[in-house]
Structure 1
Amino acid sequence: MLEKVCKLARYTGSVIMKFYNSQKSINISYKSDKTPITNVDREANNIIKEGLIQINPNFPIISEEESHNFDIYRFWKDYWLIDPLDGTKEFLKKNGEFTVNISLIKNGIPVLGVIYAPFSNILYSSFNNNAWKEIKPGVKEKISVSYSEKNTPLLITSRSHPDKELNNYLKKIKNYKLKKMGSSLKFCLIAEGTAQIYPRFGKTHIWDTAAGQAIVTAAGGTVKTWTGDDLNYSLSSCSSFINSGFCALSI
């Protein structure tokens, strides 16, 4: 199943790149939270939903790009969780830092994660406590977090979501390197050992984090809230799709 999901993510990414490289204008509107959504987001959403139904029709699907009814969803223990185009702002800025995110949640835990970066043509995936990086289809290497006390840790933060709490957090850390990046690529850098700390204080949703968390934890890292708890993907015990602040670590 993982291989099929990876192929679906790559195909979706190829469609996104056709829009990205096109001279045609992108249709942009805004959600209630003032974040942008485009015709590309919707096209990617339709492709992934159709593909996942063919892969396994037994799992329902929750997508960032659709409305959500908790009265129905709260009874789902196993479901697909997708962000068809994570980093729409970065897509519109044309800086290449956007991804296709697909995850499978079972009993409140992300057990499968796929993140594809169409611009760089790199795919990250995880299942059954193993994580991989694919430079091209069929050629993948196992990845794991890494850190040496001899080296200065690389701290990676959001490019589009600065906040005061993050600035206060950075003041408390004496020795670090800093890199800003968009989308779920931040999780991927933690998982492959390039970066060591990804702190997040601002608002995120479960579709922003599920695939990344699956990959980081499979690679040996952790993703915890600031109180040391796991992020909650169990719909029966939460009232919204909004996450608590968290920190992804390789150390």
Structure 2
Amino acid sequence: MHYSSILPDVIKVADEASEKVLHIYQSDFKVDFKSDHSPITAADTASHEIIVRGLRNISRDIPILSEEGKDIPWEERKHWRRFWLVDPIDGTKDFTQRTGEFTVNIAMIEDGEPVMGVVIAPALKEAFWGVVGEGAHLRDRTGKVRGIRVAEPKAVKRVVASKNHLNEETKAFIDKLGDHELVQAGSSLKFCRIAEGHADIYPRLGPTCEWDTGAAQAVLTAAGGKVQTLEGKPLKYGKEDVLNPFFIASGDWYIHR
């Protein structure tokens, strides 16, 4: 399948969802909580509905797995060779706290790997997209589009991690890197900051789900980076359990050790 041919349509769908999300973000919205106590707003639901409708218009025969969609049993999902993976809003806490660091995410998964991804940060007016093997792009807040690629790391590594919520495992990992500086970024923008060359490595030693990472991983991989588990294996998708193992996202320089 030639993903570059449908990428413009996917970007349009993500843009439409982002416009709706931004409209709600700028309003006096209400915050509810799901059974796992994670926050959800009308923006999550509206974004999900827009994206699902848009993706079905692009291709009706490709199934969709969305964080805000209905649970789809493994007996059905295990037969999917290719599927859309959607996070209508990644970083809902950033959304509710109005930091601007939240994103709309659409990925295409094929044979367990993200092969195309679109990540839009509505409040920051930034958009990232990429097709693995064909490159990645950034549309900045002025609307200008340019190609992006991971940077060659310098002696002082730029680490994407929260200054306020570093667990002990993450601190230990960062300390092993030697000289470093912390780069702040929320949601899936952590991957994108590496993809555009503004950071070097993102250690995630805490829980995430497949929809949290799929689109941004595709962008990073398309930009020359990689994502691997702590055992040095690729981060895989379409598993029975949608939880990800801990992982390291980086430019291609990092080798598990």
Scaled to the shorter chain, the TM-score interval is over 0.9
Determine the C-alpha separation between the residues in 2 that align with 1:210 and 1:186: 13
Determine the C-alpha separation between the residues in 2 that align with 1:158 and 1:74: 35
Runs of 4+ in 1 over 6 A off after TM superposition: none
Deviations 1:189-235 (A, max 9, x none): 000111001000100000011111111111111100010011111x3
Deviations 1:57-106 (A, max 9, x none): 11110001123221211111110000001110000010100000000011
Aligned position for 1:248: 249
Aligned position for 1:194: 198
Aligned position for 1:145: 150
| Residues 224, 231 of structure 1: 8 Å contact kept | yes
Matched, 1:101 2:105: yes
Aligned position for 1:51: 54
| Residues 161, 202 of structure 1: 8 Å contact kept | no
Q: Which of 59, 62, 65 is residue 65 of structure 2 equivalent to? A: 62
| Residues 160, 182 of structure 1: 8 Å contact kept | no
Determine the C-alpha separation between the residues in 2 that align with 1:148 and 1:110: 24
Judging changes above 3 Å, is the alpha-carbon distance between structure 1 residues 167 and 11 closer, same or farther for their aligned structure 2 residues? same
Determine the C-alpha separation between the residues in 2 that align with 1:242 and 1:159: 24
RMSD: 1.7
| Residues 153, 177 of structure 1: 8 Å contact kept | yes
| Residues 132, 218 of structure 2: 8 Å contact kept | no
Q: Flag structure 2 segments of 5+ consecutive residues without an equivalent.
A: 1-5
Q: Flag structure 1 segments of 5+ consecutive residues without an equivalent.
A: none
Aligned position for 1:174: 178
Matched, 1:3 2:4: no
Determine the C-alpha separation between the residues in 1 that align with 2:31 and 2:52: 21
Code of the aligned partner of 1:18: H
| Residues 190, 197 of structure 1: 8 Å contact kept | yes
Aligned position for 1:131: 136
Aligned position for 2:3: none
Aligned position for 2:209: 205
Q: CA deviation at 1:171?
A: 2.6
Q: Which of 4, 11, 20 is residue 15 of structure 1 equivalent to? A: 20
Judging changes above 3 Å, is the alpha-carbon distance between structure 1 residues 50 and 218 closer, same or farther for their aligned structure 2 residues? same
Determine the C-alpha separation between the residues in 1 that align with 2:68 and 2:165: 20
Determine the C-alpha separation between the residues in 1 that align with 2:163 and 2:147: 28
Determine the C-alpha separation between the residues in 1 that align with 2:165 and 2:243: 15
Code of the aligned partner of 1:8: V
Secondary structure at the counterpart of residue 181 of structure 1: coil
What TM-score results when the alignment is normalised by the length of structure 1? Answer: 0.92
Deviations 1:169-204 (A, max 9, x none): 123232000023211000100001110010001000
- Report matched runs for 1:195-234 at 5 Å: 195-233=199-237
Judging changes above 3 Å, is the alpha-carbon distance between structure 1 residues 200 and 148 closer, same or farther for their aligned structure 2 residues? closer
Judging changes above 3 Å, is the alpha-carbon distance between structure 1 residues 245 and 128 closer, same or farther for their aligned structure 2 residues? closer
Secondary structure at the counterpart of residue 199 of structure 1: strand
| Residues 149, 196 of structure 2: 8 Å contact kept | yes
